[in-house]
């Protein structure tokens, strides 16, 4: 039996992207705090396995773009990543911002009473393992004081591992387009939602997904007019770099 918070809960109309990456360095505790300060009640962030099968919050396979480190995340241990600066690249005010572990992040989510869309970014060759480790960690450590939780991923193999490890946890398949066979794929993976790039959406496509019984959520939308159109079509939730722009639409 899942805890109530782990089993999900109402997903808000707005989710902060990688925290609030329009205002702070993506996938950091500072960015999550910023998202909360700007009115987001849920945030999306990316996670990846380290060499020692710990989980850190980062988007890329390598450290180079968003930290002062270099090389692949998957060949470093959690301890080796502890001293990486994940904020100075963004602005001097964020210098010294650490690369957070998933454990640190869920503690902050509890403190701020935030829900989370945890996107798994598997390193090639670790697709199934990534789903197993992340799902098991969230099953064992998801805080009661947080809001709801979902796991999303572009990799069907990873979502299948999540399904098998923690049956019933809300999951969503991520895609940049809606391909043939999506109904059967979502159903087979046990997904409750489809997360699709807003550029691929039309009113007809949104209606088809909703009529099939899946929630439809869109990424990444920063223009309020586009967001209004998507909401009018029936999109349930939008991931955005600027949560304050869409709050109240």
- Would 201 be classed as within a structural domain? yes
Mutual angle of helices 127-141 and 102-112, in 10-degree steps: 40
Q: Is 162 exposed, middle or buried (0-12, 13-18, 19+ CB in 10 A)?
A: buried
Number of domains in the chain: 1
Tens digits of residue pLDDT in 230-239: 999 999 999 9
- Would 5 be classed as within a structural domain? no
- Would 6 be classed as within a structural domain? no
- Would 111 be classed as within a structural domain? yes
Predicted pLDDT at 9: 67
Confidence band for 23, pLDDT divided at 50, 70 and 90: very high
Tens digits of residue pLDDT in 160-186: 999 999 998 999 999 999 999 999 999
Predicted pLDDT at 7: 54
- Would 200 be classed as within a structural domain? yes
- Would 8 be classed as within a structural domain? no
Q: Which residues are catalytic?
A: 17, 59
Per-residue pLDDT, averaged over 173-201, amounts to 97
**CATH code, domain with 105:** 3.20.20.190
81 within 8 A of 69, measured Cβ to Cβ = yes
- Would 79 be classed as within a structural domain? yes
pTM summary value? 0.96
**129 closest CA partner among 45, 75, 27, 48:** 48
10, pLDDT greater than 90: no
Structure tokens belonging to residue 89 = 């690249």
CA distance 32 to 101: 13
Domain encompassing residue 74: 14-246
CA distance 77 to 99: 12
Mean pLDDT of the residues in the chain:
95
- Would 226 be classed as within a structural domain? yes
Which CA distances in Å does 181 have to 128, 169, 196, 205, 233? 22, 23, 15, 13, 22
Predicted pLDDT at 5: 45
CB atoms within 10 A of CB 43: 29
Structure tokens belonging to residue 105 = 């992040």
Per-residue pLDDT, averaged over 103-114, amounts to 96
Per-residue pLDDT, averaged over 191-214, amounts to 98
């Amino acid at each position: 039996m899942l805890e109530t918070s782990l089993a999900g809960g109402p997903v808000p109309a707005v989710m902060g992207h990688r925290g609030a990456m329009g205002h702070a360095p993506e996938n950091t505790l500072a960015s999550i705090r910023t998202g909360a300060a700007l009115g987001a009640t849920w945030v999306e962030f990316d996670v990846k396995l380290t060499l020692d099968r710990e989980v850190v919050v980062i988007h890329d396979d390598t450290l180079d773009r968003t930290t002062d480190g270099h090389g692949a995340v998957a060949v470093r241990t959690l301890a080796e990543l502890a001293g990486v600066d994940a904020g100075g690249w963004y602005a001097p005010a964020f210098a010294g911002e650490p690369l957070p572990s998933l454990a640190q992040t869920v503690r902050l989510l509890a403190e701020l009473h935030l829900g989370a869309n945890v996107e798994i970014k598997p390193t090639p060759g670790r697709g199934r393992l990534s789903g197993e480790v992340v799902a098991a960690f969230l099953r064992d450590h998801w805080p009661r004081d947080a809001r709801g939780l979902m796991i999303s991923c572009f990799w069907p193999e990873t979502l299948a591992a999540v399904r098998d490890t923690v049956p019933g946890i809300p999951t969503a398949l991520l895609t940049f387009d809606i391909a043939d066979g999506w109904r059967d794929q979502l159903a087979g993976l046990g997904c409750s939602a489809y997360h699709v790039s807003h550029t691929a959406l039309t009113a007809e496509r949104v209606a088809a997904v909703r009529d099939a019984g899946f929630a439809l959520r869109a990424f990444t939308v920063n223009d309020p007019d586009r967001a209004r159109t998507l909401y009018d079509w029936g999109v349930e939730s939008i991931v955005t770099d600027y949560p304050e722009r869409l709050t109240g639409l």
